[in-house]
Structure 1
Amino acid sequence: MSFEALDSPKLRSFHRRLTILSAAGMFLDGFDLTVIAVALPFLVKKWAIGPGLTGVVASSAVVGMFFGALVLGHLTDRIGRKAMYVVDLICFVVFAALTAVSQNVWEFIAFRFLLGVGIGADYPISSTLLAEFVPAARRGAFVTAVGSSWFLGAVCAYLAGYLLLPLGPDAWRWMLVLGAAIALVVICFRAAIPESPRWLAAQGRHDEAGKLLLALSGETGTTTAEPSQPWLSLFKSPLLRLTIFVAGFWFCYDVAFYGISIYTPTILKNFTAGSASAAYLGAAIVSALGLLGAVIGVFLVDGWGRRKLIIFSFAGLTLMLIALAVEPKPALVILVLLFGLATLFSNMGPGVLNFVYPTEIFPTGVRAGATGFGTAISRVGAILAILVFPRLVHDWGLQAALWLFVVAAAVGLVICIAMAPETKRRTLEELNRRGGDNASVMAGNAKQRASL
C-alpha cells in the first residue's frame, strides 16, 4: 500500500497529538519505574525489608515488564495497535493505585509486578503505532521524542520525591497516586486515536486502510498485499540477525542504565552524611543530565543518523563508567558528574534508539512483537543489574562492582560496531523489503564502519 498520504501537511497536528499521547505513556513508564528508587529507603525502614528482599522489591515491576512486553507486544500484532494503546494505561491506573495502598511488602511486590505488565506493554505499543503514522524524514525525531519522555518522567519522580519528603513515611504513596491520576487523564485522549492503516493493510483489510487514509488526509493510495509473517520468523533467517542486534544492544544498555538509576539515591546517600534530601537532589541532577542526553539524541538522530549516534554514545558511556570504576574515593560532586555523564551518553544513543530501531527494521506483521521481544530481553539485563549489583557492592565494594557495567557497555559497543544498520529517511515499506531480504539491511555496515 502507498502511504505517502501520511506525509501530508494536513496531518501535522495529528502527528503532534499522537506523539504527545505516546510520550505521556512513556513519561508514566519512567515515573513509575524510577519512583521505586525514591521509595525504597522508606519501604526498607517501614517494613524492615532485608537485603535479599530489597532486590525483589526493586525489580518486581521490571519482572512484570518482561511478561508484558513479550506477551502483549505479540498480541498487539494480532489484535491491533489501537485496543492495546488504551488497555495498557488502564493497567497503569488500577495497579498504581493498588500499589499506593499496599499494606505489606508482599502486596507491594504483587501490585508492582502487575503494574510492570502494563508498563512493558506500552513500549512496543506506543513506539510502533507512532512509527507507523509519522513521515519517514522525521520518524527518528518523533520516536526518539517519545523515548526521551521516559527520562522526563524519571526526573519528575526524583523531584516529586524531594518535594514530598515533608509528608513523612507515607510520601511514596502519594507519588504512586500521582502517576495513576495522570494515566487516567491520558486514557481519555488515547481513546480517540485511530487504528494504524499499515496494520490494517498487513491484515488484508485494505478497504479500511484506504478509508482511514482518506478520512485523515483527504488522500488515498493503491493497496498491495504484504506477506504475512509469524512471530517465530524473528528467530529464523533472514530476521534472526536483526533480532540479535536489537536484543543485544538493548540488553547491554539496560544492565548499565538500571544498575545506575535504581540505586543512585542509595549510593549517593553514603556520600552525603546520611542526608536523604541531598541524595535525592543529586539523583535528580543525574537524571536531568540523562534527560539532556535524550534531548540531544532527538536532535541528532535524523541528521547524524542512527548508526553513528549509537556507536558514539556507547563509546562515551564506556569511558565514563571506566572513570567511575578506577576512582577509589570520589568526591560527591565528581560522583554525581560522572554518573550524570554516563547517563547522558547512554540515553543519547541506546536509550532512545531502542524505540527507533525495532520499529524500523522489522516488517509490520511482527513489528510490535519484535519490539516486545527486545524489551523483554532488555528486562533480563535490568533484573540482572538490580539483583546482582547490591551483592557485588557488598562483597567487592562500589568501585569493583562498577566493572559489571563497564563490561556491559563495552559489549554493547562491539555489537553496534558489528551490526548496527543505517535506516534514516527510509520509508517503512522500503525497510520492510530490505528486512525481508536481510542482506540489504546489513550490507551497508562495512561502508558505515569505514566512514566512522
Structure 2
Amino acid sequence: MSLTELDSPRVRRFQRKVTLLSAGGTFLDGFDLTVIAVALPLISKHWSITPLEQSLVVSSAIIGSFIGASWLGSLTDRFGRKAMYVIDLLAFVVFAALTAFSQDVWQLIALRFLLGVGIGADYPISATLVSEFSSNKRRGKHITSLGAMWFVGAVAAYVFGLALAPLGDWSWRALLLLGAVFALIVFIFRVKLPESPRWLIHKGRIDEAREVLRSITGEEPNESDLQVSRNPKVRSSILFSKTLRRRTFFVCGFWFCYATAYYGISMYTPTILAPFANGNRTIVIIGSGCVALLGLVGAIIGMNLVDRWGRRPLIVMSFTGLTVALVILALVQEPTLFVLVALFSVAVLFANSGAGILNFVYPTELFPTAVRATGAGLATSVSRIGSILGVLVFPNFVATWGTNAALWFFAAVGLCGLVICVLLAPETKNKSLEEINVESEKALV
C-alpha cells in the first residue's frame, strides 16, 4: 500500500486512533490554557495578587509554550515523533499536578511556565504525526480535529469551573489537578503508538518503516514509497531559503495574527464581562462559556468544510469575519452583557472556523519531512509571541485608553492576518505531502 493512499478500512481505524490520542493532547492544551482564566478570580482573592502578578499567572504557560514549541519541535525532527509525543505528555501530568499544590503565586507562575513547555511542544508533535499517518482525502479533517479539540478543552474548563464551584476557595486547586488526571489517561494510551514511517524513511531506517506500514495496513508496502525523502542531514535554516521562506512567513504571519487577537479576547472574557454581571460569578462563567462554545462550533464547521471547500477560502473567510466582528464591537460605545457575549461569540466563531484550526494544518503540509516538526514548531513559537502580546497588551490598553482602543488594536491585527492570507495562502486540498513539497524536497538534495 502506498503512503499517499493510506485509506483502507483497517488503516482508517488506526488513523482515528492516532487522531484521537493526538486530539487528547490539544484538549489538554485548551483546558490548561483556559482554566487559568476561570481560576484567576479565585487565585487573586486567595493570595491578593497584584495586576503584574495576574498578568504573569495568565501568561507564564504561554511563555513556556514558546520555549517548548521552538526547542522541542526541532528535537522531534531529530529524535523521532513518538519519543517526544510521549515525553511531552509526561510533562503535562507532572507539572499540572504540581500547580494544584502551589504554596504561593511565584511557585504557581514557575510551574505554569514548565507546564507551558509541554503545551508548546505538543502542537508541532501531534499535528506532524497525524499528518504523516493520514490519507490525502482525510488529512484536512484529521488535523483540524486537533484544533476542534482545543476548543472542547476550553469549554470543559468552564463546565468544570461551574461543577467545582461548590468547593469554594479550593475549587481552583481541584481544577488545576483535573488537568493532570486527564493527561495521565492520554499518556497511558500514547505509549503504544508506533513511530511515523515517513520519519523512519527520512532517517534511512527502511526495515523499521516497512514493519510499521505492514502492521498498520496488513499489506506489503510499495518499495517506491520506501525510497522517498531520504536525506537525514538537513539544517533548519532551510526554512528561510528561497524555496521555503514564503511559506515560512505565511504560516508564522497568519498564526501570529490569529493568536494575538484570539488570546487577547479569550483570556480576558471573564474579566471583560464581570462589570456587566453585577458581581454574579455564575453569570460571568456562563457568558464566557457561551463564547468558548461558539468557538468550538466554529471549529467543527471548519473541520467539516476543510476538505470540501479547501484551505484558502476557509482561512480568508475566517479573518474577514473576525475583523468585521471586532470592528462592530469597537464601534459600540455602551454595550450590554448580551451584546458583548453575542459579538465576542461571532468573532471567535469566525476565527476558529479557519485560522484556529488551519494553524494545525498548514505548518504540517507546507514543510518537507526533514523539517516538518521544526517548521511547525517555529510557527507555534511565533504564535506564542502573539499570544503573549495579546495577553499583556489588553489590560494595559484598557487601563490607559479604554476597552474600545484595545478592540480597535485587535481589529487591526485581524486585518493584517486577512491581507497575509489573501496574498500568500496556498491551496493544498487533496494533494499528498510529497506533491505539496516536491520543490522543497529537491532543494534538500
TM-score, structure 2 normalization: 0.97
Residue 442 of structure 1: aligned partner: none
In angstroms, what is the RMSD of aligned CA positions?
1.3
Judge which range, 321-330 or 206-215, deviates more: 206-215
- Corresponding residue SS for 1:375: helix
Judge which range, 211-220 or 309-318, deviates more: 211-220
Judge which range, 205-214 or 366-375, deviates more: 205-214
The aligned amino acid for 2:315 is I
CA 1:274–1:437 in structure 2 vs 1: closer, same or farther (change >3 Å)?
farther
Task: Give 1:435-446 correspondences, 5 Å limit.
Answer: 435-436=440-441
Aligned-partner Cα distance in 1 for 2:79–2:316:
36
Residue 276 of structure 2: aligned partner: 271
Structure 2 unaligned residues grouped into runs of 5+: none
The aligned amino acid for 1:359 is T
Task: Give 1:104-115 correspondences, 5 Å limit.
Answer: 104-115=104-115
Residue 376 of structure 1: aligned partner: 381
Residue 224 of structure 1: aligned partner: 227
Cα offset for 1:286? 0.2
Is 1:133 aligned to 2:121, yes or no? no
Residue 412 of structure 2: aligned partner: 407
Aligned-partner Cα distance in 2 for 1:205–1:239:
26
Aligned-partner Cα distance in 2 for 1:346–1:5:
32
Task: Give 1:183-332 correspondences, 5 Å limit.
Answer: 183-217=183-217, 218-222=219-223, 223-226=226-229, 227-228=231-232, 229-332=234-337
Task: Give 1:421-440 correspondences, 5 Å limit.
Answer: 421-436=426-441
Contact preservation (8 Å) 2:298, 2:348: yes
- Corresponding residue SS for 1:328: coil
Residue 390 of structure 1: aligned partner: 395
Judge which range, 209-218 or 421-430, deviates more: 209-218
Aligned-partner Cα distance in 1 for 2:113–2:72:
15
Aligned-partner Cα distance in 1 for 2:4–2:280:
56
The aligned amino acid for 2:221 is T
Residue 155 of structure 1: aligned partner: 155
Aligned-partner Cα distance in 1 for 2:321–2:397:
24
Q: % of aligned pairs identical?
A: 55
The aligned amino acid for 1:221 is N
The aligned amino acid for 1:6 is L
Residue 418 of structure 1: aligned partner: 423
Aligned-partner Cα distance in 1 for 2:74–2:4:
27
TM-score, structure 1 normalization: 0.95
Aligned-partner Cα distance in 2 for 1:279–1:216:
47
**Cα-to-partner distance string for 1:340-386 (whole Å, 9 max, x where unaligned):** 01000000000000000011110001001111100000000000111
**Cα-to-partner distance string for 1:283-308 (whole Å, 9 max, x where unaligned):** 00000000000000001100000000
Aligned-partner Cα distance in 2 for 1:26–1:45:
30
CA 1:378–1:4 in structure 2 vs 1: closer, same or farther (change >3 Å)?
closer
Contact preservation (8 Å) 2:4, 2:432: no
Residue 99 of structure 1: aligned partner: 99
Aligned-partner Cα distance in 2 for 1:87–1:69:
14
- Corresponding residue SS for 1:402: helix
Aligned-partner Cα distance in 2 for 1:225–1:381:
36
Judge which range, 207-216 or 184-193, deviates more: 207-216
Cα offset for 1:8? 2.6
The aligned amino acid for 1:78 is R
Aligned-partner Cα distance in 2 for 1:181–1:240:
41
**Cα-to-partner distance string for 1:113-161 (whole Å, 9 max, x where unaligned):** 0000000010001010010001111100010011110000000001111
The aligned amino acid for 2:119 is I
CA 1:384–1:286 in structure 2 vs 1: closer, same or farther (change >3 Å)?
same
- Corresponding residue SS for 1:247: helix
Residue 353 of structure 2: aligned partner: 348
The aligned amino acid for 2:251 is V
Contact preservation (8 Å) 1:204, 1:225: no
Contact preservation (8 Å) 2:31, 2:179: yes
CA 1:14–1:225 in structure 2 vs 1: closer, same or farther (change >3 Å)?
closer
Aligned-partner Cα distance in 1 for 2:329–2:248:
32
Aligned-partner Cα distance in 1 for 2:282–2:247:
44
Residue 39 of structure 1: aligned partner: 39
- Corresponding residue SS for 2:390: helix
Aligned-partner Cα distance in 2 for 1:413–1:5:
34
**Cα-to-partner distance string for 1:418-449 (whole Å, 9 max, x where unaligned):** 000000110011112144479xxxxxxxxxxx
Residue 13 of structure 1: aligned partner: 13
The aligned amino acid for 2:364 is T
The aligned amino acid for 1:188 is I
Aligned-partner Cα distance in 2 for 1:81–1:255:
28
- Structure 1 runs (4+) deviating above 3 angstroms are 434-438
- Corresponding residue SS for 2:427: coil
Aligned-partner Cα distance in 2 for 1:175–1:50:
22
Cα offset for 1:211? 1.9
Cα offset for 1:7? 2.5
The aligned amino acid for 1:220 is P
- Corresponding residue SS for 1:137: coil
Residue 75 of structure 1: aligned partner: 75
Aligned-partner Cα distance in 2 for 1:86–1:437:
32
The aligned amino acid for 1:295 is I
Aligned-partner Cα distance in 2 for 1:213–1:286:
42
Judge which range, 203-212 or 348-357, deviates more: 203-212
